């Protein structure tokens, strides 16, 4: 698990807010190709991507979590 909790984002109000759970799953490409990803009713899409990928379509808090995973991988964690 990379993160679990509150997400600071524009849709939050005093009466409703977003919380999320973020997981990192590392697997070889040949395994990833066989795993079918489907977005749930709370997401528009689900996808595999390389940790180093710059993707402007990823919401900013997610970019930070991806950066944390990349840093840990570089440190050998």
Question: Which positions ≥6 away from 37 have C-beta within 8 Å?
Answer: 46, 47, 48
Q: Tell me, what's the pLDDT at 54?
A: 62
Q: Could you report the per-residue pLDDT of 12-68, keeping only the tens digit for each?
A: 899 999 888 888 888 888 998 899 888 888 778 888 877 765 666 777 778 888 888
Q: Tell me, what's the pLDDT at 5?
A: 92
Residue spans per domain, the chain: 3-74
Q: Tell me, what's the pLDDT at 53?
A: 53
Structure pTM? 0.61
Q: Tell me, what's the pLDDT at 56?
A: 63
* Complete DSSP assignment for 23-64: ------HHHHTTSPP---TT-S------TT---TTS-HHHHH
Q: Tell me, what's the pLDDT at 43?
A: 79
Q: 76 with 24: CB under 8 angstroms?
A: no
């Amino acid at each position: 698990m990379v993160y679990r909790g509150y997400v600071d984002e524009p849709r939050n109000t005093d009466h409703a807010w977003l919380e999320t759970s973020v997981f990192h799953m590392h697997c070889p490409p040949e395994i990833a190709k066989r795993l079918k990803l489907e977005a749930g009713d709370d997401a528009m899409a689900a996808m595999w991507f390389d940790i180093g990928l710059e993707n402007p379509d990823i919401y900013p808090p997610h970019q930070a979590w991806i950066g944390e995973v990349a840093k840990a991988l570089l440190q050998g964690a």
